[in-house]
Structure 1
C-alpha cells in the first residue's frame, strides 16, 4: 500500500514537472492596480469636428494573465462602472450618462473580455475580445504594447501594457447624432497589474 501511494506521488510530481517544462502551465495572474491609480481608461471624441471632448472612467476593475514570453497565452477581463464617466464638466457628464448616450441607469457596467491575443513581436500585440457597452456586445481589437515587468519596491511583482482602440457609437446603439466627425470614440488604456 505504501509503495502504491509513493508511486502515485512520484508520478504526480513527474507529470507536474513535465507540464511545467513543456510550458503548458497557464500564464501568471495579475490584478489591475486601480487602488493605487496605476491604470486608466480614457476616451476622446471629436466635438463637431472643431475640437475634442476628452475624459475618463474613474471606476473600473479587472485582471489579466500574462507571460511576456508567450503573449498568446494571456487573457484579460475588465469591468467599467459607466456612471464614473468624467469629462470635467458636470452638465455634460449628466447628458453623457443619460439614455442619449450611455444610459448608465439601465446599463451600469461596460465590460471587455479577451478572446485571443496575436503576438506581433517586440512587445506589440493585438488584443481581440468582446466589448459590452449600452447593452450591446461586439468584437473589438485593441492595439497594445507591453510596457514592462519586474519587481516593485514593496516586494511584489508588476507588469503593464498600454493600448488603443476605436469604435462607432452607433455600433453600441448610441443614437445621439452630432455629425460624421463625432461618430467614433477613441479609447486609450493603460494597465498595471500586481502579480498574485
Structure 2
C-alpha cells in the first residue's frame, strides 16, 4: 500500500505545472544595461545610457508566454558622455526630468518567435506619455552562477519615435527616432 501511495504522490508531483521563477535585475553587479543610439544629423551616431534603473521579471522556460517584466528608469541618470549635452537631454526639450523623473516599462504579452527569440509587448511611459511598444528580444541563457545562485539573461531592441513621446526638440528627419537597447540579467529570488 505504501508503494502505491508513494507512486501516486510522485506521479501527481510530476503532473503539476511548472512554476515561474521570480528574478531581480542585477543592476548592483552591473550586469544589466539600458542604452540608446540616435543619428546625429545623419552624419554619425550618438550613444548613451541610463545609469540608474531597477526591475524584476517572472520567467518559466516552459511557459514563455506567461513571463512578465517591469522596469523603472531614473531619467536624470541619462549619460551620453558629455555633461552639457546631458543637461540638455534632461531639459524640457527632451526628457523633462523635473516633471517626469521616471520612465517605466510593464510587459503586456509575449509572442514567441523562432528559437530563443520573441516579441515582448508592453507599455512604455516616457516623458509623461504611455505608448504600447514591441521589443524584439532573445534569451541569452540561464543557469547556475559561481556564487550559488541562478541567473537568466535576455537582450532586446526597439525603435521609438521622439514625437510619439512628446519630445519637442526637432533634430531633423535623420534623428526623429532613437534605438533603445536593453540587456538584463536576473538573479532568481
Q: TM-score, normalised by structure 1?
A: 0.88
Q: Which residue of 2 aligns with 1:39?
A: 32
Q: Which residue of 1 aligns with 2:163?
A: 170
Q: Which residue of 2 aligns with 1:3?
A: none
Q: Which residue of 1 aligns with 2:85?
A: 92
5+ long unaligned stretches in structure 2: 1-8
1:64 aligns with 2:57: yes
CA separation in 1, counterparts of 2:63 and 2:123? 21
Deviation per CA, 1:139-196, whole angstroms, max 9, x where unpaired? 0000000000000011000000000000100000001001000000001110000001
The alignment covers a number of residue pairs equal to 179
CA RMSD of aligned residues (A): 1.3
Displacement after TM superposition at 1:69 (Å) = 2.1
Displacement after TM superposition at 1:22 (Å) = 4.3
8 Å contact 1:26–1:73 — kept in the other structure?
Answer: no
Q: TM-score, normalised by structure 2?
A: 0.91
Displacement after TM superposition at 1:21 (Å) = 2.7
Displacement after TM superposition at 1:62 (Å) = 0.1
Q: Which residue of 1 aligns with 2:70?
A: 77
1:55 aligns with 2:74: no
5+ long unaligned stretches in structure 1: 1-13
CA separation in 2, counterparts of 1:156 and 1:47? 42
1:21 aligns with 2:9: no
CA separation in 2, counterparts of 1:145 and 1:158? 15
1:116 aligns with 2:100: no
